[in-house]
Amino acid sequence: MPEQIHISTETITLGQFLKLADVIQSGGMAKWFLSEHEVYVNGEPENRRGRKLKPNDEVSIPNVGSFIVVG
């Protein structure tokens, strides 16, 4: 079962989401994290920290966890 991450806006960038989900400590780590780890958004590989996520999008990171965006 994916962990639910609540957002207060209509969309959130993948970089901001990783920080909100406590996967990274700061937004500056997003570019490095995405270059070093496999990240999937709705089952598709993703490496753009600016990728917009909306409610019901699922983010999966092998060996880290699964998360679902909740509005």
User: What average pLDDT does the structure give for the chain?
Assistant: 97
Q: In the block, which residue shows the tokens 């070093």?
A: 36
The single-letter DSSP state of residue 2 is P
> Is residue 27 over pLDDT 90?
no
Instruction: Give the Cα separation of 22 and 43 in Å (integer).
Output: 21
Q: What is the CATH number of the domain that holds 30?
A: 3.10.290.10
CA 51 to chain centre: 9
Return the pLDDT at 16.
Answer: 96
Kindly report whether the global pTM for this prediction surpasses the value 0.75.
Answer: yes
- DSSP element (H, E) containing 5: strand 3-6
Which structural domain, as residue segments, surrounds residue 23? 3-70
Total domains in the fold of the chain: 1
Residue 36's pLDDT is what?
96
pLDDT score, position 22: 96
Beta carbons within 8 Å of 35's beta carbon, 6+ residues apart = 47
| pLDDT tens for each residue of 39-60 | 999 999 999 999 999 999 999 9
